[in-house]
Structure 1
Amino acid sequence: MERRTNRWLLLALALLLSITIVRQADIGRIRHVAHNITNSLRPLYTGAHANTTLGFGAIIAVSRPGSSRREALIRAANITEIDITIPEQPQWTEDDISGLRAVENSTITRGSTLAWLGHLNALHYFLHNTTLSTVLILEDDVDFSLHLRTHQIPLAATAMRMVASNLTIPPSPRNHKSRLQNYWGIPNAWDLLYVGHCGDFYTPESLASLPQSQLIIYPDATLPPYAALHGKTSSQLSDLHVPEAHRLLHPSISPLCTFAFALTRHSAHRILTQYAAREADGGTEAYDVRILEACRDPTFRCWTVNPELFHHVKAESEIAAVNGGGQWSVDEADGDGREEAFNIGCGVRGLAVREGESVAEARERLRGEERCRIGGVEREEGKQGAQRG
């Protein structure tokens, strides 16, 4: 086991050392970019797994009382060894609902209003805990990979630390100097990190307008092949000639959905008081639309991991259920018959622990399944293990 772990660490380091920064003039020729950043990356990458809160102060899930989605989320958290806190929501009143609606020309539905209130409740919970400097907020129907903590998060966080090292940033407050909070870069280098979304769609021209040090392509062997990605995602990557098994980290351009996103105390306070205290006059379709509008404020710094690390499962919309059904869903409209969330290889949400099997035993069994193996090294080791067995 130790030998295998060492091989994986060497492989991960080799992959990380091939990370490339996209030049403005080379957006259409990403495959040919060869800007080696070994010297910059080496002190940033540790090779270690993320901690149980994925390098943030806490992971908080937005979940209404009695939600049928909690059990699968908790099981997925146990299998991947991450800690998720689910603060209870109060029983929302008509005053709560009317207090969130715009004074003039409200367009938000009742279901979307309740979902919005649930997100604000999570923000209040975070800010009331004064020991936390950052938080990752999840919606309770998200799916994620078995390799989230061991591979995907360490790679994404290293890329973010590299970006932060290139930014001109004011000094951090004293309470933000802990090693934990620096896992995702200097905390005041960013306001919001989209690690779960339903697309941040861009054009080559929009990426070309970004500073070259703020657009990073990095290898991640856990990313499903293009053929297994959502059609829009694969087309987006193909149009830019992004090699398979690579992700992008870039300033957010047009992110949709708030499946999983991280905040600092400062940015959470701004959302509560400046952006999302209530629906904007003239109408706001949903909470995630208001967050998108916040990210278009140049003083609110949003970043996107693309393709995403979290995506929601295919299930009945709770918002639609409150509204009486009939709410259109992009995922439902595709009718692809998939068994796990879009863009999530080796999704753990739908996996079952066999009778008499411990969570640890289930984790090891799942890692040996064909769809959960990573790259050539692990596949070869899996074959050798099968032959020995």
Structure 2
Amino acid sequence: MTIAQFQKIFVISLPLRTDHRDAVSLAAALTGLQFEFVDGVTEVSQRALPPGGEQLGLNSGALGNWRAHMNVAQMVVKEGISSALVLEDDVDWDLRIKSQMQDFAKASRLLVQPLRGTADAYLDPTHPQPSADQQPSSFPVGEDDPTVEPTTSPYGDLDRWDLFWIGHCGSRFPDANNTNVPIGRAVVGNDVTVPEPQHIRMQFGDRQLVDQYPAHTRVVSRARSGTCTVGYGVSQNGARRLLYELGVHNLTSTTDLMLRTLCDGVDGRRLLTCLSVQPQLFQHHRAVGSKASYSDISEHEEEYNPQAFTRNVRWSTRLNFEKLINNETDYLDLYKDGEPALDFGFR
């Protein structure tokens, strides 16, 4: 098992992006992670598209991204893998990712496991659906866990969750207007791996995290309005659902926006049990150089990026390569407490 008990870690990567493969291989080795590359896809036959796909007009990058994620889901299903973490190859994470994932596991159990001594009573009073006048409750993550001890996964038993959207470009909290999911929140307080509010960039999310919670707070909730497939955990049942909904049933948009419909339970998709975390645990790394090299899925301007960065990740593994290789421990932190925010632009 790897990184707090995912059975496998897969990294989707085009073989021609040797720069991405070099960097993610080094990052994983330096933080004690083991993974398997899954080749990205550059050509998709129109005949192989699910219903609706031929009418979308998606570019080759978006279609290749969709097919690569379906190939991972297919592998998880075919090989009977109990759970997997799926990452894209421009990903970065904090040097303390293992302890962060342990905190995420404690948080997720509070939201998906029933209370001890029961089979169907939950800590969240809005489970399974909130009424219109209910407000979200916050549950502190600590040593006292009142829920049933899981036996098949530290994140909660595998039959209780489908997808953990923990690497994204923005996510939101559900509220009582989203009456199809519980709205409780598990709160990791005093988390020194979280930047102060002036440094946090929500991108496609909103400001609830920075406006409603103290500095150094990370919050886990049901996923809502997620964007980007930087990284997600999937159970065997979740992979089957992904493969059916996105690979067989119909193709309606880009991969991340289809995941959103599943986690939000909209546009005719049956609702998955998805959790998300703010700020995210996995994020795109932006290297020095032309912004056009950022992605093989969508176009970026040719403008030059003069400073490498990873949003919302304090001790970036990639930014600390040299220190890690030289066994130095004075790690680079772009988001030091008390310092003004750096402006890296939207992308």
Normalised to the residue count of structure 2, the TM-score between the two structures is 0.73
Q: Which residue of the other structure, out of 45, 48, 64, is the alignment partner of 2:14?
A: 64
Letter in 1 for 2:207: S
Matching residue of 1:291? 259
Structure 1: unaligned runs, 5 residues or longer: 1-50, 171-177, 376-389
Matching residue of 1:164? 112
Partners of 1:133 and 1:347 lie apart in 2 by 29
Contact 1:111 1:318 in 2 (8 A): no
Q: What percentage of aligned pairs have identical amino acids? A: 22
Q: For 1:1-389, what aligned pairs fall within 5 Å after superposition?
A: 52-67=2-17, 68-88=19-39, 93=43, 95=45, 97-100=46-49, 102=52, 105-130=55-80, 132-149=81-98, 151-166=99-114, 181-202=152-173, 211=182, 214-219=184-189, 220-230=191-201, 232=203, 235-240=207-212, 242-277=213-248, 280=251, 283-284=252-253, 286-297=254-265, 299-314=271-286, 316=291, 327=299, 339-353=308-322, 359=325, 362=327, 365-366=328-329, 368-369=330-331, 371=333
Offset of residue 162 of structure 1: 2.0
Q: Which range moves more in the overlay, 67-76 or 314-323?
A: 314-323
Offset of residue 140 of structure 1: 0.6
Matching residue of 1:15? none
Partners of 1:275 and 1:81 lie apart in 2 by 32
3-state secondary structure, aligned to 2:55? coil
- Render the CA deviation track for 1:131-189: whole Å, top value 9, x for unaligned: x200010011111000101x21111111112222237879xxxxxxx988421111111
3-state secondary structure, aligned to 2:220? strand
Task: Say if 1:110 and 1:82 are closer, same or farther in 2 by CA, change over 3 A.
Answer: same
Partners of 2:180 and 2:162 lie apart in 1 by 21
Partners of 2:181 and 2:53 lie apart in 1 by 37
Partners of 1:208 and 1:217 lie apart in 2 by 21
Letter in 1 for 2:166: V
- Render the CA deviation track for 1:308-341: whole Å, top value 9, x for unaligned: 0001112546696577xxx358xx99x9965321
Structure 2: unaligned runs, 5 residues or longer: 121-148, 338-347
Contact 2:113 2:150 in 1 (8 A): no
Partners of 1:301 and 1:322 lie apart in 2 by 27
Partners of 2:238 and 2:66 lie apart in 1 by 17
- Render the CA deviation track for 1:49-94: whole Å, top value 9, x for unaligned: xx643321111111122222011001111111111111345x7655
Letter in 2 for 1:199: G
Contact 1:59 1:85 in 2 (8 A): yes
Partners of 1:157 and 1:82 lie apart in 2 by 17
Matching residue of 1:17? none
3-state secondary structure, aligned to 1:371? coil
- Render the CA deviation track for 1:25-59: whole Å, top value 9, x for unaligned: xxxxxxxxxxxxxxxxxxxxxxxxxx643321111
Aligned length: 296
RMSD of Structure 2 on Structure 1 (CA): 3.5
Task: Say if 1:94 and 1:129 are closer, same or farther in 2 by CA, change over 3 A.
Answer: closer
Contact 1:276 1:290 in 2 (8 A): no
Matching residue of 2:140? none
- Render the CA deviation track for 1:204-255: whole Å, top value 9, x for unaligned: 665899646x312212221111122116568332332x01111111111111
Normalised to the residue count of structure 1, the TM-score between the two structures is 0.66
Partners of 1:272 and 1:211 lie apart in 2 by 25
Contact 1:227 1:234 in 2 (8 A): no
Partners of 2:28 and 2:43 lie apart in 1 by 31
**Structure possessing the higher relative contact order (Cα contacts under 8 Å, 6 or more residues apart):** 1
Contact 2:219 2:277 in 1 (8 A): yes
Letter in 1 for 2:104: A
3-state secondary structure, aligned to 2:193? coil
Contact 1:57 1:181 in 2 (8 A): no
Q: Which range moves more in the overlay, 161-170 or 190-199?
A: 161-170
Contact 1:197 1:258 in 2 (8 A): yes
Higher helix share: 1
Partners of 1:55 and 1:374 lie apart in 2 by 31
